[in-house]
Structure 1
């Protein structure tokens, strides 16, 4: 098994992509550390894994990013080391710029960006000491292109690309890999939990999300990318991938295309 005896720490593991990845890697004999704010949901994921004895649970809140060093130390102690950190935790957004209170912008950046890089910095010395390690980051297609109703979310995901591209370059000599996973639409509760302009959850699923890739299929493709130590990969439908390439090579055309997206 490609992940046999690998110790993988997954944040945002209580549902969606994180849950599906945990089950997939468990089926490939990985030892897992599962984290999120919801301990009861993590217990359900643990029980769904192939060998629950090889699964540890550590609760964390990425928004409380000033206290993550002790959490990283606890994760290292769980199995004696960590081989792969999957930075999957985060929150989305559905609101126009003009309707989004600055406190919502701050909360999204605190969770998606500052929480993620704080946890990364907490585990980085462990990877450097071991001369090996792998950071996997769930960003988004929106980390490459900005779309309506997701300004703060897109900003947080763009920021992750800048940070982790720099980290990869700085730590190449330490055999530390970085894989940026860019999902398109995946059938999860991400849109239900997305923050609106006043900070409350949207509480409904977008049509595109409802028609997205099933998380189990996504997890298999994500696991393959991790195994191959890809630097960046888009796991999405054809339209989302097409948008990335149009933006890259024909930015003016992309601007015209994106204006036609629904903003209601």
Structure 2
């Protein structure tokens, strides 16, 4: 039998790279995508079965190219079974100081790029009457946090979109798992956009002390296998979701005192 195929965006580093290695080890064929072709090849070579992996560079900001990229991805192994939307960019800047073009770029990559790729792959899922989306959101896709206004907005938007998509395509045997990591030790904060669009170029303390990308990938694998609708990954910061849900007033007071930058 052919191996199941997972297509991972944002696969050149961090959670995406760790997920590529995990799924390869578990017997999946893996398509690795991001803008950084050289880094993708390095990740592919680090996988358990690199001969069952393929590199497909893409840029989520170039939405007019994503239909062709989906067609290419399907041709590589003859099918795609899981579309793991993991590509994106973060933010570290105050809302008032952030240039509108920065807000737009974050939404263009995190939201519009993701849904453009989704629209491109859904006909394939419908035709074979099966498919799964894993979508990397964030804890701030459920709660808001200072210095992350547009990033948080882009992740909130993904929840709304994919919750609707899940209901619309249940009859097509297409499932959606929203993945909400907290503090994971990756370069997400290093690459985060600041108010003028330049990268932050430093790692948050919380990120530096966070869960490893490998453990995060292990939990993602388990969540996707069980086809959970949402999975929350991280340490004590995950409790913020439940505080927001059940005692929002108390949560707001805690957030005002928290060091979240």
TM-score (norm 2): 0.98
Mapped to 1, the partners of 2:181 and 2:158 lie a distance apart of 14
- Which residue, out of 9, 12, 15, partners 1:11? 9
Instruction: Quote the offset at 1:20 in angstroms.
Output: 0.2
2:192 is the alignment partner of 1:205: no
d(CA) in 1 for partners of 2:57 and 2:68?
12
Deviations 1:105-143 (A, max 9, x none): 000000000000000010000001110000000000000
- Paired with 2:117 and 2:211, the residues of 1 have a C-alpha distance of 28
* 1:157 and 2:155 are equivalent in the alignment: yes
Could you list the runs of 4 or more consecutive aligned residues of structure 1 that deviate by over 6 angstroms after TM superposition? none
Question: Deviation at 1:262?
Answer: 2.9
242-251 or 38-47: which moved more? 242-251
> Could you say what the CA RMSD is over the residues aligned between the two structures, in angstroms?
1.2
Matched, 1:242 2:239: yes
> Which of 77, 93, 101 is the equivalent residue of 1:79?
77
- Paired with 2:216 and 2:157, the residues of 1 have a C-alpha distance of 23
CA contact (8 A) 1:135 1:177 kept: yes
State the alpha-carbon separation in 2 of the partners of residues 249 and 175 from structure 1: 32
Deviation by residue 1:145-201 (Cα, 9 ceiling, x = unmatched): 000100000000000000000000000011001000000000000000000000000
Aligned pair count?
261
SS at match of 2:184: coil
Specify every segment of 5 or more residues in structure 2 that has no aligned partner in the other structure, as ranges: none
Match of 1:252 among 227, 249, 257: 249
How far apart in 2 are the matches of 1:183 and 1:98? 26
* Structural mapping, 1:15-94, within 5 Å: 15-94=13-92
Q: Secondary structure at the match of 1:167?
A: helix
Residue 259 of structure 2 corresponds to 262
Q: Give the superposition deviation at 1:93.
A: 0.2
Write the deviation string for residues 5-44 of structure 1: whole angstroms up to 9, x where unpaired. Answer: 1100000000000000000111111001000000000000
- Aligned twin of 2:186: 188
Aligned partners of 1:232 and 1:59: how far apart in 2? Answer: 28
Say which of 212, 215, 227 aligns to 1:217: 215
Q: Distance in 2 between matches of 1:121 and 1:202?
A: 32
Q: Secondary structure at the match of 1:229?
A: coil
TM-score normalised by L of structure 1: 0.97
State the distance in 2 between where 1:241 and 1:76 align. Answer: 36
Three-state SS of the structure 2 residue aligned to 1:198 is coil
Q: CA deviation at 1:263?
A: 6.1
Q: Are the equivalent residues in 1 in contact too, given 2:145–2:260 (CA < 8 A)?
A: no
Tell me, yes or no, if the aligned pair for 1:192 and 1:202 is still in contact at 8 Å.
Answer: yes
How many Å separate the matches in 2 of 1:26 and 1:130?
A: 23
1:98 corresponds to 2:96? yes
